[in-house]
Amino acid sequence: MRNTLPVMNLIVYAIPVFFLLIGIELLIARMRRLSYYRFNDAITNLSCGIGSQIAGVFLKTATFIGYKYLYEHSLFKIDGPTLASMAYHGNAATLHALEITFSISIGVLLFVGVDFFYYWFHRLAHEISFLWGSHVVHHQSEEYNLTVALRQAALQGAFSWVFYLPLAVLGFSPELFLTIASLQTLYQFWIHTKLIGKMHPAFEYVFNTPSHHRVHHGVNPKYIDRNHGGTLIIFDRMFGTFQVEEEEVVYGITKQAKSWNPMWVNFEYWIGLFRDVFRVQRLKSAVLMLVKMPGWKPAELGGVETPKAVTPQTFNKYNTEISEGLSYYVFFQFVVVLLGASAFLVMQGLKPFSEDLVFKIGISSLIVIAIINFGGIFEQRAWLPPAEILRIVATILLVIYLAKNSAVFFIVLSVAVAFGLVSILWFTKFIGQFNLKRQEDVQINAG
């Protein structure tokens, strides 16, 4: 277990590369005058990614234990040195060469296996309503850019890990599995872009590409529930879910989330689903609503919801407006939260975080509150002003607490207090905008 931390953090360590590539994509889009990014959408995408990683701090430990338990009790152990020693008993140099050959072969085999089981989780997460709730977050963005790759559901890992357990039973080590699974996830980052068109036909035939994955994110009826592959597209071709990119893709989901709140978008589908489940009279109907396709309803609730034809011209993207000054404030605070969350994700396996679960939960909660507040700012919610000021104060106190035994305590104290005062003074300049929005909402409701 002690050697798995670097493996489990591969995605965290890739964060700087993610943002470098996002910056390049944004720059190219701006130079070409392409509207591929919206500020509120991009921040929400990234906030969902932060939330997913924070949830993973707790989920990965539990799921890893499950995989490790099955591996340790498996009848097989597939690793290069073991297979090489079974196949050859000669000189050390040849044995070492065999170990390398077997290790590479095992890695390739596991790579295919991970992608195979990912395909089936991903496909069933689109075809089973209850599972769709664990994945829908990734599809809610109505844009398609590299930030969408990072928009992941907080609880998806609580469901997907079960699909990979056959690999543990077959004897693939947990460390190698985590490495390959992380690499498979990293591969999928670059395919979330509109800047890259169709690639060489041979590559497109075998691998998942931006063109294939644009189809997967489409709400055009012909594109829905197609191209589920992770790194490879061959399983879609084999099992009848492949669709080539033809008409222009309209991105999003058939029932818009209409929120920038990362917490709400993670649970709104399940809330709606169970609300309908408890409205039906028959147990059979309730069960079918959970296991059939998303949108399936019994006749008493109106029957199956059929996707409607859409085009970029007829599809209305969800949007809200805030002032330019408030946008700068959100951007500044988001950068601070991102840096803090990244540091926490890298160090959460070390002392004092690893020894104090309550402390770890407290820091995680503060990060989650921050990203919820960003959504509240975009939606100009009435509860936001006091919540944001409390968050800033809590952040200052946390930083001071973490630095209490540090040699640079007074420097940290000065920076934290300065940050807090600047943030509060900056934010209070915009409180009037929230009051105005509240008055407008009251007038609309009264009307």
DSSP state of 355: G
Confidence (pLDDT) at 337? 97
Percent of the chain past pLDDT 70, that is, above it, reads 90
pLDDT in the model for residue 440: 58
Confidence (pLDDT) at 181: 94
Give the N- to C-terminal CA distance of the chain in Å, as an integer: 62
For residue 204, what pLDDT is reported? 98
Q: Two tokens at 193?
A: 């872009």
pLDDT confidence band for 91 (50 / 70 / 90): low
- Residue 129's pLDDT band, with cuts at 50, 70 and 90, is very high
Torsion of CA 63, 68, 74, 80, to 10 degrees: 120
- Tell me, what amino acid is at 293? M
Q: pLDDT band at 101, cuts 50/70/90?
A: low
DSSP states along 202-217: HHHHHB--HHHHHHHT
pLDDT tens sequence across 44-67: 999 999 999 999 999 887 888 899
Residues paired with residue 410 on neighbouring β-strands, in sequence order? none
With residue 381 as reference, give the H or E element that holds it: none
168, 181, 176: which is closest to 76 by C-alpha? Answer: 168
Q: Which of 143-147, 349-353, 375-379, 413-417 has the lowest mean pLDDT?
A: 349-353
Q: Which tens digit of pLDDT belongs to each residue from 21-47?
A: 999 999 999 999 999 999 999 999 999
Q: Give residue-wise pLDDT tens across range 186-216.
A: 999 999 999 999 999 999 999 999 999 999 9
Q: What is the mean pLDDT of the chain?
A: 90
Q: Is the pLDDT of residue 4 over 70?
A: no
Q: State residue 293's pLDDT score.
A: 96
